[in-house]
Amino acid sequence: MSIITFTNKGIYCPQGKFYIDPWLPVDHAVITHGHADHARRGSKHYLCHKYTEPILRLRIDPALSISTLDYNETIFINGVKLSMFPAGHIVGSAQIRLEYEGYVAVISGDYKTEYDGISTAFEPVRCNEFVTESTFGLPIYNWLPQHELFGGIRDWIANNQLQDKTSVFIAYSLGKAQRLMKGLEGTAKLFVHNSINNLNKAIESNGIVLPQAELVTMETPRTETQNQVVILPPALLGTNLIKKLSSASVAICSGWMQVRGSRRWQAADAGFAVSDHADWSGLLSAIKATGAEKVYVTHGSTATFSKYLNEIGIEAAEVATQYGKEDDEEIGEPKNEEE
C-alpha cells in the first residue's frame, strides 16, 4: 500500500487528491515551507502552516487562497488525515504527516534536527513511508553545535570591529537571515537589506519577536553601518551596496562552506558552515527515528545517500523532483543547485 506517488507535477496523494510542494500549478497544494522551490505560484488553493501564510502572501500573491494549520493540528481531506509537525528548517517549516487506513506517510520538505533558536524545533514522526531531502547527504558534512558555530562568528565580528571593519553576512533572506539576527543579537547594531526586512515583517505579523534591525540602502551613510553587522541576500554579493560600506569584511553563511574548495571559490573573507539543512548525522538520526519501511530521497546527494541507506538496511529509493533548483535566491550560492 502507498498513499503517495511521484508525478510530473509533484508529490501526489491519490486518496486525498492533493499535492505536496507541487512544481506545476494544481488545484490543492500542501506546502511544507516558504522557500521558492517548495512553494510555487499558480495553484488554486494552498494549505500551509500558519507561520508560512504571510510568507506566501508576500512572495506569491496577497490575494492567494490559503488555509492554515498549527503544529499537531489535524484535518481530514477526502478521508486522508493530515497533520503538520515542525521540521526545524525555517520559521513555519512543517513535515506533512498523512494517514489513511492506518498507513502513515511523512513528507519532510527540508529539515534540520538541531534547534536554531528561532524555527520551532524538529520533531521526529513515526511513519511507514518517509520522504527526505539529502542536501548534505555526505559524511563530510557535520555541523558544529549552534553555540560553537555562533561563538566563532561572534569572534569574527569582534575581530573585525578591532580593525574598524563592517561585518557583512551573505545569507538567504528567508530563514538564515532571521537565524543570524537571533544569533548575533547584542554583538552590534544589525542592518538588513529590504528583501530581508519585508520577510521580517511577514514573520512578525504572526507574533514572532525578531531582534531589532535597521534597513540598509544605498543611501545609508557609511558611518552608520561602520563596525556594525549587515545581513544581505546572496544576490547582493559583489554589488555596489557592499562596495559602498565602510571596509566591509564579507562572510558567506552556507553549509557548502564546510569544504575549502567552496570557501575559496567565493571571493569572500570568511565562510561559515551555517546551514538550515540537516547534516549527515542529522539526516541519519531523523530517518532512523521515523522507523519507516521505505524512504524516498528527493533532492541533494540522492544517489549516494539512498545507496548508503540501502546498505545499512533501510529500503530507500531516489526520486527525481524539482526541489533544490530554481530558487530565486540561489544566485551567488557556491553550488547553486542544492541549497
Partner 1 sequence: MEKFARFIHDLEISNKTNDKIDAIVRYLDVVPEEDKIWLVALFTGKRPKRGINTKLLREWAIEISGIPDWLFAECYHSVGDLGETISLILPKPTHKISKNISTWINELSAISKQSDEAKKEYVLNAWSGLNVQERLIFNKLIGGGFRVGVSHKLLVNAISKHSGIEANKIMHSLMGKWVPADTNYAELINGLDLDTNISQPYPFCLAYPLEQEVGSIGEPEEWQAEWKWDGIRGQIIKRKEELFIWSRGEELITSQFPELEKMVSILPDGCVIDGEILAVEKSQVLSFNSLQKRLNRKNVSKKQQEETPIGFYCYDLLEFNYEDWREKPLGERRSQLEKLISALPENDTVYLSQVIGFKSWEQLATIREGSREMNSEGLMLKKRSSPYSTGRKRGDWWKWKIEPFSIDAVMIYAQKGAGRRSNFYTDYTFAVKDGDKLLSIAKAYSGLTDKEIREVDNFVKRNAIEKFGPVRTVKPELVFEIAFEGIAESGRHKAGIALRFPRIRRWRKDKKADEINTIDDLRNLLNSTRHADRTDKGI
Residues near partner 1 (CB under 8 A) are 138-142, 256, 258-265, 267-271, 301, 304, 307-308, 311, 325, 334-337
Min dist. Cβ of residue 304 to partner 1 (A): 5
CA distance 2 to 104: 9
Min dist. Cβ of residue 65 to partner 1 (A): 32
- What's the distance, CA 238 to chain centroid? 23
Residue 205 or 336: the one with the smaller Cβ distance to partner 1 is 336
CA distance 268 to 70: 40
Cβ within 8 Å of residue 176, ≥6 positions away: 90, 253, 274, 276
Residue 16 or 255: the one with the smaller Cβ distance to partner 1 is 255
Min dist. Cβ of residue 324 to partner 1 (A): 10
Residue 243 or 260: the one with the smaller Cβ distance to partner 1 is 260
Residue 214 or 269: the one with the smaller Cβ distance to partner 1 is 269
Min dist. Cβ of residue 209 to partner 1 (A): 34
Residue 200 or 266: the one with the smaller Cβ distance to partner 1 is 266
Q: Scan for cell 538541531, then name that residue.
A: 114
CA distance 293 to 316: 9
Residue 126 or 264: the one with the smaller Cβ distance to partner 1 is 264
Min dist. Cβ of residue 164 to partner 1 (A): 16
Min dist. Cβ of residue 2 to partner 1 (A): 28
Residue 45 or 335: the one with the smaller Cβ distance to partner 1 is 335
CA-wise closest residue to 56 among 199, 256, 235: 199
Residue 159 or 217: the one with the smaller Cβ distance to partner 1 is 159
Min dist. Cβ of residue 157 to partner 1 (A): 16
Min dist. Cβ of residue 131 to partner 1 (A): 22
